[in-house]
Amino acid sequence: MKKLYQDIARKIAGNKDLLDSLIETGRLPMKEIGKEIEIHRKKLERGRIYIIAMVLAIRSGLSYLDMCRGEG
């Protein structure tokens, strides 16, 4: 499941519209993500916090390992 959430986070970080919406509202743009990626809404809701954290890590240039160690 983490792999799926990481893929979603990469797609959000690479899509300017989705990223802008996330930054402006502080929430995942569920409908827009659903249009871009075929995923059930409930799965998005379950991984919401993880996905947002991964998007922020990707934007700041941290690797997953750095995040786990608390570095950065």
* HEC readout, the chain: CHHHHHHHHHHHHHCHHHHHHHHHHCCCCHHHHHHHCCCCHHHHHHCHHHHHHHHHHHHHCCCHHHHHHCCC
Q: Based on the structure, what is the number of domains in the chain?
A: 1
Domain membership of residue 63 as a residue range: 2-69
How does pLDDT run across 6-58, given as a tens digit for each residue? 899 999 999 999 999 999 998 998 988 888 888 888 999 999 999 999 998 88
Whole-structure pTM over 0.85, yes or no? no
- Return the pLDDT at 42: 92
Average of pLDDT values for 1-5? 87
65 or 14, which is more confident? 14
- Return the pLDDT at 49: 93
Using DSSP, state whether 26 is helix, strand or coil: coil
